Structure 1
Amino acid sequence: MENGNTPRLVFINYNYVVGAASTFLSTVLTFPIYKTIFRQQLHTLSIRAATSQLRREGVRFLYRGLAPPLISKTVQGTVLFGTQGTFQSLLSGVCKTGTTQRTVSGILTGVFEAVLLVPFERVQNILQDGRNNARFPSATSVIQEFKSYKKRNCLSFGFYRGFSIILIRNALGNALYFSLKDPLRDLLTTEKTPRWAPSFGSGALNGALISLMIYPIGVLVSNMQAMVGERLPSIRKVSHGLWTQRGGRITLLYRGASLIVVRSCITWGVTTAIHDALSTKKHSFKNIQTPD
């Protein structure tokens, strides 16, 4: 019994370590892309205008706001696959099919992520908005601002502003990712492709498709969370105002989506390839360790 449990524990540890390392590196590499996308979402700028804005601010401001997403993405990568695997294991006796297990466990993982990571995203969005550079020079200044709020204003004004819409975004995104990951990998697998290529292609395609699908929700979140000290209207009013601001045009609502495809392909392609490689090692290790 003891030997039979060992491979599972080792595999879980592998998932935590590799998830943390891959998301840490990908966040650092793709942060300038993310910041450009954020400026496009916030100010309805073209790629050239957004990059010019960042260039005028200078190199020392390019990685301003990196710490919150770096921490949150590293934590996210650490817990994502482990938490989803735990939920899927718990659901194995309740849900009959593997697809249902992966979908429901993805939703539950999204809920867990939202509760854990919304404060980091809130601080990040404030720091990335150039209009807040003078008022909030650091993450500490944002936290001090939130501490001054009364308890009844903590949710609508502070760390958990926009929580409900983020909850929907995370639950939907994770459910789609875990439902589509394996079918896409199997579809891309051929005898001539390297072992890692189908997993990378599955993660890249999966990430890009899901990012495009939930992109309008991301635009809504950016605009909701960048505001400081103002009471948050209902989601319906914020959505209507955003649609009016974009002139009722889908193309303007999706401004910045082209760059997010590149970022998602890199991030989720690498993460999925590493995860699937470790899954293969887990099964091999289990076969070695399991007694006859």
Structure 2
Amino acid sequence: MAGSLKPKQDEEGCRDQMVRSNTFFHGGISSLLSTLITFPIYKTVFRQQIHNAGVSEAVRQLYSEGHVKLYRGVVSPLLMKTLSNTLLFGLQDTILRQLTPSSQNLISPSALPALAGLGAGMVEAVVCTPLERVQSVLQNGKNDRHLPTHKSILVRLNAQKRSSGYYRGLLPITARNALGSFIYFGLQEPLKDALEGRGLSPVVSPFISGMLTSMVISLPLYPLTVLAANMQKQVGGEDKGVMASWKKLWESRQRSVALLYRGGSLVVLRSCMSWGMITAIYDMQKKNSG
């Protein structure tokens, strides 16, 4: 009897391990596709954030640089977003599986996905901040002459302390990623189920739920994104802390919330499109692998 149970247990263990591996893979593929499609919007938003420019001015800058440079810097966000969401979806699923049996009668089951997302977002931030740092330096047009390539940026960053080099802006990035993941995994599935309950197809409902969840996340957390981009946009110079950097940013925006949110409309558009696609592609892969 015991001998007959062991193969079944081994088979279930292998199947469970495969499901866990699939969540990492599905998260990466979903992000890879969405990043390639939405990168021009992302680059326009980034220029608005660091140059305090309007949409037309940001587009004019990119147009004057030519179509060859439009995808300059795409390697970093492509690697970062793919790695980021590989970790995010995979770790969230792994943490959730660990929390579920150990938290019975302590935490509401409906809160567990959000808590697992919080933990996954914190780990993701620590791993991906160096990639975001390189990306920010690359996409700042003012660095084109003295830091034109990935190699030149890496050489400069290697010469810096980690806190002012690769991990510049870690605190706002961690806060943004952890809170964003908490909200995303807390809302996405209930929203999808509610939309399906209203008659939307299983293909459309995850896309719309991803868009709506992203909208809820993007607007309140946008100032953290602007702060991180401005902290990371150059190498060297005065090494300001988070509060000093925020004060400088707030002054540069003339103490205006409207100017602080410059580029916010495109951020919401890009984020909605990106997370709608990520959620839909991930959900489709998950169903097909099941």
> What TM-score do you get using the length of structure 1 for normalisation?
0.90
Q: Which whole-Å deviations, capped at 9, do the CAs of 1:224-250 have from their partners, x for residues lacking one?
A: 000211232121121112111111211
The CA deviation at 1:259 is 1.0
More RCO (CA 8 Å, sep 6+): 1
Q: Given the alignment, which residue of 132, 136, 159 partners 2:166?
A: 159
Deviation at 1:59, TM superposition (A): 1.7
> Aligned residues: percent identity?
38
Shift of 1:208: 2.0
Question: Does the 8 A contact of 2:156 with 2:235 survive in 1?
Answer: no
Change (3 A) 1:191 1:103: closer
Question: Does structure 1 conserve the Cα–Cα contact (< 8 Å) formed by 2:24 and 2:87?
Answer: yes
**Distance (whole Å) between structure 1 residues aligned to residue 23 and residue 176 of structure 2:** 24
Q: Are 1:130 and 2:138 an aligned pair? A: no
Report the Cα distance in structure 2 between the residues aligned to 1:178 and 1:11, rounded to whole angstroms: 18
User: What is the alpha-carbon distance in structure 2 between the residues aligned to residue 215 and residue 266 of structure 1?
Assistant: 16
* Residues 32 and 62, structure 1, Cα contact 8 Å, conserved in 2: yes
Deviation per residue, 1:210-236 (Å, 9 max, x gap): 011200110001100002112321211
User: Residue 11 of structure 1 contacts residue 278 of structure 1 at CA under 8 Å; is this kept in 2?
Assistant: no
Query: Residue 125 of structure 2 aligns to which amino acid in structure 1?
Result: A
1:210 and 2:221 equivalent? no
1:7 aligns with 2:18: no
Give the aligned partner of residue 3 of structure 2: none
Paired residue type of 1:52: R
Cα distance between partner residues in 1 of 2:196 and 2:88: 25
Shift of 1:10: 3.0
- Residue 66 (structure 1) aligned to one of 70, 74, 85: 74
Name the residue aligned to 2:239: 232
Q: Does 1:273 align with 2:273?
A: no
Map of 1:277-288 to 2, 5 A cutoff? 277-281=284-288, 285=290
Secondary structure (helix, strand or coil) at the match of 2:145 reads coil
Alignment counterpart, residue 87 of structure 1, candidates 65, 86, 95: 95
Task: Note the residue ranges of structure 2 that are not aligned, 5 or more in a row.
Answer: 1-8
For 2:73, the aligned partner's letter is G
Tell which deviates more after alignment, 188-197 or 205-214: 188-197
* Counterparts of 2:22 and 2:96, CA distance in 1: 18
Aligned-pair CA distance for 1:262: 1.8
Aligned length: 279
Q: Which residue of 1 aligns with 2:124?
A: 113
How far has the Cα of 1:281 moved from its partner? 4.7
Q: What residue is the counterpart of 1:75 in the other structure?
A: 83
Provide the alpha-carbon RMSD of the alignment. 1.6
Tell me if the contact between 1:208 and 1:260 (Cα under 8 Å) persists in the aligned partners: no
Report the alpha carbon displacement of residue 279 of structure 1 after superposing the two structures with TM: 4.1
TM normalised by structure 2 equals: 0.91
The aligned residue for residue 26 of structure 1 is 34
Alignment of 1:244-259 (within 5 A): 244-259=251-266
1:163 & 1:47 partners in 2: Cα distance? 28
Deviations 1:24-83 (A, max 9, x none): 121111111111001101111111110001111112221111111111111122222111
Structure 1 residues 117-139: Cα deviation after superposition (integer angstroms, max 9, x where no partner): 00100000001001100011111
5+ residue gaps, structure 1? 286-292
